[in-house]
Amino acid sequence: MNLLEGLTARVDRVRGGKVQRHYRIVIADGYKLVNGNIVKQGVQETRRRKIAQKRAAIKRDLKILKTNARRDRSDRIRDQAGLNAPAPR
């Protein structure tokens, strides 16, 4: 019996509010599923994934900053035009 056997989880990929497919992932850090077996990731693969995750996080933060800046700008324009009046109670 494999000691890591219980360390998988079933995950649903959801797109547009609908489940597209089900798949299994390994919960343990540094391991992955290959043909249904849990195997240890190589050192290079772990490092490459770690760097990619950091890069993706930075890109996500920049996109959020850009979105918020554009929203603030459009809110200022709407305030100047008098369109952002509070809703009547």
CA-to-CA distance for 80 and 29, rounded, in angstroms?
52
Both tokens of 59, joined, read: 């890109």
Q: Confidence band (pLDDT; 50, 70, 90) for 42?
A: very high
pLDDT at residue 24 greater than cutoff 70 = yes
pLDDT tens per residue, range 48-86: 999 999 999 999 999 999 999 999 999 999 988 888 777
Q: Confidence band (pLDDT; 50, 70, 90) for 87?
A: low
CA-to-CA distance for 16 and 47, rounded, in angstroms?
32
CA-to-CA distance for 87 and 50, rounded, in angstroms?
47
Closest Cα to residue 36, out of 65, 5, 63, 14? 5
Domain ranges of the chain: 1-41, 42-80
Q: What is the pTM of this model?
A: 0.59
Which is higher by pLDDT, 35 or 56? 56
SS3 35: coil
